[in-house]
A and B are shown apart, each in its own frame.
Chain A
């Protein structure tokens, strides 16, 4: 493990010193020196996640598929989303857009001397048990993700954006990153506020990000895997999350309003949104305009998302078209 860590650190330093820091120096961007170094690690983690999806998750999907699918264009679009997200292109845009706001929030709270208590201060024994404090923070952030996800379904304007994620009829391990860029921005802003309350930024625990994101990718995998008790309360399985992507029908108009959890299904159990069954349902959204995403490319989907948001915010736009 130590050897792997050494290699990881050496690669990060080499990438930064060879490709990034000369650019920052040349363009007078040394104020972003430390942030850029962290961005290199984000990029490396993204590469790692893509490799895990491509060479571990996808072969498993091919061996034990839940639904017979071919690697059609729709799945390819999800792959574009994943690459743009994991390698940092979309996060960079979101960071640039969100930074003035998140920075203002953070600095304002600091100026007001509002300093949230850390878990290690509330529970001093966790000082010497880093893994325990990691698990606590992981659970806290997973609860926040659950709450955000409920909001994405609850508010019609947010659903207008989030429905892009649900419109996929061919849900695979690539689907996790299929999100509207404004949806990403909103989630980032909410988490920025939340992190000020918790006292720990997600980036403080890179492992929170990576472990969480890999599990989320896996939960979208097209494989017939479900867990029995008690594991089914502790870890999202592909079958558990697939039900969340189920296409609503006349008999189950709100089937997709179940199983919101990102990693820990216990939140669904506690808040009454868990649904465990083995029935296989098609995935997607029945609304024709949203379902049309399946024939669109990345850019068209983004445009369609903005159109849906406009209509949700200003209903008269729908009638005027």
Chain B
């Protein structure tokens, strides 16, 4: 009898989905996404997804994860607890980068191929404005007050600030070669912009758009992820194949770890111990021990993995990890 019970228990455990500690990775050249079990560091499933899916974001209530398929103009929504498809939002044109303003009122996309920034009302995803830009909008970030979205323009080397309420460009500034990742620091005054065509990041005054500083990091500085203490940010350097830990108070590179294969998007586990990084060229996701700043493991996924999100189904899930950790408003950028 005991043996039967053990078998039944084992079977029920095996049947229960292990979604609670999952990581979602978008395989941009495979038209698929991977579901990884975080504990065992294994890919559980690889499922089809539109075409050229690059980035993803949570809805403000944290209940849905929106996977953006650029070539099919759609957002595929997953329930963050069950990972089942909830809905498909169509007619979101070329949603390369996407994000909600911190107050949850606006939803903004950067159409990388079609050269426009779209501002939607977040509650119904109705397009409020389309701003054509010059050119190749790459990454975006919101200010803490949700009044402005900052968008890097990869081809023209510029950063623009768009007033969300008026839906007009407030300023446009030359920042350097091939700007990509951008973050608005919690002080509300400074922006960081990664220059993929150079080996540095620049600081920009959020109000005026003036470039105020520069920090050498690594070749093809590309994307940021907040550590969660309001001060430190991880930066991926795609050609250098390193991750730099930037101290934004003293503006210095505090530590660095080699992550081969063109590291790109990053996310942090809810316990703050691990940094997960997509390795675009190696079809893998790397796991970095944050305390020791060393690479501890990799997980096989699909071709050209790009955006990723670590799910946290504990109470309070949906709030970006960085905010839970105490940052005033660390934007979640993938």
Q: Which residues of A contact B (CB under 8 A)?
A: 9-10, 12-13, 16-17, 21-22, 25, 28, 30-31, 33-34, 37-38, 106-107, 110-111, 113, 115, 118, 120, 127, 199-200, 204
Contact = CB atoms under 8 A, between A and B. Distances in A.
Given A25-B239, A110-B73, A37 B197 contact: no
Contact of A17 (B94, B197, B281): B281
B319 interface: no
Contact of B113 (A9, A38, A107): A107
25 contacts: A9-B281, A9-B283, A10-B282, A12-B281, A16-B281, A17-B281, A21-B262, A22-B239, A25-B197, A25-B219, A25-B220, A30-B154, A30-B177, A30-B178, A30-B220, A31-B154, A33-B238, A37-B262, A107-B113, A110-B94, A110-B113, A120-B48, A127-B48, A200-B31, A204-B31
B93 interface: yes
A31 B178 contact: yes
A115 B238 CA distance: 32
Contacts of A31: 136, 154-155, 178
**Dominant SS at the A interface?**
helix
Interface in B211-259: 219-220, 238-239, 241
Contacts of B280: 34, 37
B282 A9 contact: yes
Contacts of B114: 107, 110-111
Interface of B: 29, 31, 47-48, 50-51, 71-74, 90-91, 93-94, 113-114, 136, 154-155, 177-178, 196-197, 219-220, 238-239, 241, 260-262, 280-283, 304
Contacts of A21: 220, 239, 262
A22 B220 CA distance: 10
B71 A110 contact: yes
Given A107-B113, A110-B71, A111-B93, A200 B51 contact: yes
Contacts of A127: 47-48
A9 B304 CA distance: 11
B93 A113 contact: yes
Which residue, B48, B113, B196, B282, has most C-beta atoms of chain A within 10 A?
Answer: B48
B51 A199 contact: yes
A85 to B, nearest CB: 23
B70 to A, nearest CB: 8
Contacts of A30: 154, 177-178, 196-197, 220
A301 B70 CA distance: 42
